[in-house]
Amino acid sequence: MAGEKETMEIDTDAGCPGNSVGRFAAGEDPAKREQILAGAWRVFKLKGFDAASMNDITREAGVSKGTIYVYFSNKEDLFVALVDQHRQEFAASMRNILAGTEEVRDGLKQFGLAFANKMICSDMIPAMRSVLGVVDRMPKLAQRFFIAAPNNVRTVLQDFIEHHVALGHLRIDDLELAARQFIELSTGTFFKMRLFGELEGPVPDEELNRVIDSAIKVFMAAYGTDRA
């Protein structure tokens, strides 16, 4: 990578086609890939994107230089993979939560609680801070956090809302706007406070429930039907 004086080493970790039983082809071992990603994430959290180097990541992940370049071509490639991984895991967990609800209000409540706790108490905020640090130079990377795709948490909520529109529980013309509005109503304040360091630790349950319940009331007043 430009700006880093690094020399490729002979790959002694990655498997090759046709070698011993149980080995993966080069770049295809999921455990090795996860090992590299885990090490990279620890480095990015500690140093930030700009200060982190592939040498740092190699040492932290415990792999050879050759191996890390078999899986990822550069630091940007690694960071993109981490962004995608965090977003996919977050979206999958939220989809599972909504899949276990049948009532609109219950689904919105569970979504709001889980979303707030994930944003406040997990590694999501450090990840976003790292992304924001390079947004001017790498705008497409930052956009990956918010891209409208099946593995985006906003799209997960949008699918839930669309389902209840079809059932006649909600009346909404712009599903994406409605999903954005509920996220902002229920967790926007907590998210911004945590992002900018004004909030340390979890939000008290009483306050979290108060804000989310109010968000549901506003949302249902705008979009609910008599069948809701």
pLDDT tens-digit map of 44-54: 888 888 888 99
pLDDT higher than threshold 60 for residue 162 = yes
pLDDT higher than threshold 90 for residue 160 = yes
- Calculate the CA 15 to chain-centre distance: 30
Q: From the CB of residue 207, how many other CB atoms can be counted at a distance below 10 Å?
A: 10
3-state secondary structure of 18: coil
Residues in CB range of 156: below 8 A, 6 or more apart: 91, 94, 95, 98
pLDDT band of 136, cuts 50, 70, 90: confident
pLDDT band of 3, cuts 50, 70, 90: very low
Residue 61 tokens read as 């992940």
**Structural contact between residues 165 and 172, judged by C-beta atoms closer than 8 angstroms:** yes
Average pLDDT of the segment spanning 144-166: 82
Q: Give burial (CB, 10 Å; 0-12/13-18/19+) of 107.
A: buried
Summarize pLDDT for 12-46 with one digit per residue, the tens.
444 444 444 455 555 678 899 999 999 998 998 88
Average pLDDT of the segment spanning 112-121: 83
pLDDT band of 4, cuts 50, 70, 90: very low
Q: Give burial (CB, 10 Å; 0-12/13-18/19+) of 138.
A: middle
pLDDT higher than threshold 80 for residue 125 = no
**Structural contact between residues 36 and 57, judged by C-beta atoms closer than 8 angstroms:** yes
- Fill in the DSSP letter of residue 101: -
Q: How much is the pLDDT for 64?
A: 92
Which of 18-27, 102-111, 212-221 is least confident?
18-27
